[in-house]
Structure 1
């Protein structure tokens, strides 16, 4: 995204040395009962370990949530490839749900737990508010998020 350098510069300008912060990330929810759809340029399946590697323009959707990345490894639950247990996305990861968005270098989506762990230069936006941190865990059932590491934020005041 072209705004990322500007947003990062703004977040680094604010002194906010917080080790961890909880926040409501309301739009970042997913219908955990909805099917998970994956599209990509290429697919490699490894029958020996029960995984699949999607590469090139990978987009994963579940309900209104969309995750895109350069590549995504899908691990299936023990006992067959009928249920996904975890997806690991790497390279320019973007997670969007409603008005909320997140960018990171890696995201691990634990489908069974309904959580997404974002790591590597994480940048969250919610409307005009921006939050950056080292590690963010999003609970997709509740929409809550926990930001850890060097947390930086730009919070826009509400209009009177």
Structure 2
């Protein structure tokens, strides 16, 4: 009787999505070279020299090495002492972050260039091959690929050989 319940519980754990509050994962594909140039293209650009801020709007695309990000709007923050040094990117309006092996979507994302971290918030959806994870906040260290998904995490893991 105990064995039957145990095996039933194990089968259910593999068959159904996993619901947890926080989950650490390896985002090996979501890595970036912090020293690589950051290229931004958009429909328009508004620069405020006093605040050291630039706002790209419309069909924004950001590339750094193998990492690509798309958004409706992107605020670029520069170092106060070096106007040519980007310190932070804040993307809003349906953000998509893509690497060669993974893709993530969210309502907004903040990329801290110096720290090498990306924090995506608002209906986050991460796809790694056939596996899918969703939550409210995704925090990734782009140097190591280590990350954490927080806020009512839902994970669908497909075992090898499943359809």
- Report the TM-score, using the length of structure 1 for normalisation: 0.88
Alignment of 1:1-160 (within 5 A): 14=16, 16-159=18-161
CA distance in structure 2 between the partners assigned to 1:57 and 1:109 by the alignment: 18
Cα pair 1:69 1:90 within 8 Å, conserved = yes
Cα pair 1:50 1:80 within 8 Å, conserved = no
- Report the TM-score, using the length of structure 2 for normalisation: 0.87
The structure that has the greater radius of gyration is 2
Any stretches of 5+ residues in structure 2 without a counterpart?
Answer: 1-15
Moved over 6 A (4+): none
Matched length: 147
Computed over aligned residues only, the root mean square deviation of the Cα atoms, in angstroms, reads: 1.3
Could you tell me how far 1:15 is from its partner in structure 2? 5.7
